[in-house]
Amino acid sequence: MTVYSDDRAWKCASCNETLVKRRTAFSYLGRDVVHEVSGCPKCGKVFIPMGLAEGRMAEAEEMLEDK
C-alpha cells in the first residue's frame, strides 16, 4: 500500500492548478462537518487523503450510521 504525505505539492488533474488548503464542508446522513483539506482553487474539487478517508471520516460515518 502506498501512503502519500500531506506535504506534497498536489495538482488538480482537470485544471493543472496547485491544490491549496481550505476549510471544506462535508455532508453525510444530514449532518455537516467542516474539515481542512486540499482543493483546486479553480474548479473546487478536493483531495481526500487516504488517512482521512479511512480514519476520521470512516469513524464519523460509522458513528452516524449507528444512531
If pLDDT is split at 50, 70 and 90, which confidence band does 2 have? very low
CB–CB of 15/43 below 8 Å? yes
Output the pTM of the full model.
Answer: 0.63
| Calculated CA dihedral for residues 11, 20, 51, 56, nearest 10 degrees | -150
- The per-residue pLDDT for range 15-28, each reduced to its tens digit, is 999 999 999 988 87
Q: How far apart are CA 49 and CA 54, in angstroms?
A: 9
CB–CB of 43/12 below 8 Å? yes
